[in-house]
Copies of this chain bind each other. A is one copy, B any other.
Amino acid sequence: MNNSRFPISLHILTLLASDEGVLKSSDHIAGSININPVLVRKEISNLRKHGMIESKEGKNGGATLSRPANQILLSEIYHAVQQSSLLGNSKNKPNPNCPIGRQINQHLDDLYNELENVLLNKLAHMTLSDFVKQFENQ
């Protein structure tokens, strides 16, 4: 998880959940996050592929949640944006002639998977709705 895709996706979903049923444009969302609208559209495209968002093209188009916020788990968002593993991929190519180097990537992968499961288990008990409820009406 080396970039800010998780916070961006969560921000998008939070905006949509805070005004459920209303279509929001990528420009409007980008204005709230303060990033480029194209990045927002990319993340929306990704969230759509993962079944959390629906979007409508054309004039007055935009994005909206495809399900109630209390049926969207934070673990789903994590899965949707996850590319590399948690603590940094084992992208090193250790020396295969070293008994440690030869085996370490496998053991690192096992460790990461174990940690990731712990994290996902936690996130699977939190809904988007829980997250949005924390926001005060200001």
A contact set with B: CB distance below 8 Å: 1-8, 10-11, 14-15, 18, 31-35, 74, 78, 86-95, 98-104, 107-108, 110-111, 114-115, 118-119, 122-123, 126, 131, 134-138
Chain copies in the assembly?
A: 2
Q: How far is the CA of A114 from the CA of B93 in the complex (A)?
A: 33
Q: How far is the CA of A107 from the CA of B100 in the complex (A)?
A: 41
Contact B101 A5 (CB under 8 A): no
Can you show 29 pairs from A to B with CB atoms below 8 A apart? Answer: A1-B86, A2-B2, A4-B88, A4-B89, A4-B90, A5-B88, A7-B87, A7-B104, A8-B92, A10-B104, A11-B101, A11-B104, A14-B104, A32-B101, A33-B94, A33-B95, A33-B101, A34-B94, A34-B95, A35-B92, A74-B111, A78-B87, A100-B135, A103-B136, A103-B138, A104-B135, A115-B122, A118-B119, A119-B119
Q: How far is the CA of A111 from the CA of B135 in the complex (A)?
A: 13
Contact A134 B107 (CB under 8 A): yes
Q: How far is the CA of A93 from the CA of B3 in the complex (A)?
A: 15
Q: A88-B5, A99-B138, A118-B118 are in contact. Are A94 and B11 (CB under 8 A)?
A: yes
Q: How far is the CA of A6 from the CA of B1 in the complex (A)?
A: 13
Chain B residues with Cβ below 8 Å from A88 are 1-7
Q: What residue of chain B has the Cβ atom nearest to residue A126's Cβ?
A: B111
